Copies of this chain bind each other. A is one copy, B any other.
């Protein structure tokens, strides 16, 4: 199973983002653990961009290369109709994840334009949200 993890703005500097919420680890460190965990079962690709258009371009250009997508659109979750339109174009299952529990944070983080167009949502488990999402994809694909 080929899975794309697509990360949105500021997740490239995860280690700087409020350590209480995010744990102070870089995403690259976590990615290596994840690859080890799923070794032999899942082929994980990773793309991060701070640009709304960049995320859409990547989805368009790599559509046929994956069996499932795990997306953490970060701040764009709450403001981007364009990314949710791009997700609708995909024919493979897409899962929305959040590292922190967005319902414990500012009210403007409670609404997601992605949720109505994805399979399911996993939120609040720290970086483990990504692992759970890949587990979920297994059951779907």
Q: Which residues of A come within 8 Å of B, CB atoms? A: 8-10, 12-13, 16-18, 49-54, 56-57, 60, 74-76, 78-82, 84-86, 88-89, 101, 103-104, 108-109, 112-113, 115-116, 118-125, 128-129, 131-132, 135-136, 139-140
- Given known pairs A54-B53, A81-B79, the reply for A132 and B121 (CB within 8 Å) is no
Interface centre among A56, A89, A112, A125 (most CB of B within 10 A): A125
| B75 engages A10 (CB within 8 Å) | no
| B123 engages A82 (CB within 8 Å) | no
Provide the bound-state CA to CA distance between A122 and B78, in Å.
18
| A82 engages B50 (CB within 8 Å) | yes
| A101 engages B85 (CB within 8 Å) | no
Some 28 contacts from A to B, beta carbons below 8 A apart, are A9-B82, A9-B86, A10-B60, A10-B89, A12-B60, A50-B52, A51-B54, A51-B57, A53-B53, A75-B80, A76-B82, A79-B81, A101-B118, A101-B119, A103-B115, A103-B121, A108-B113, A118-B124, A119-B125, A120-B122, A120-B124, A120-B125, A121-B121, A121-B123, A128-B136, A132-B132, A132-B135, A135-B135
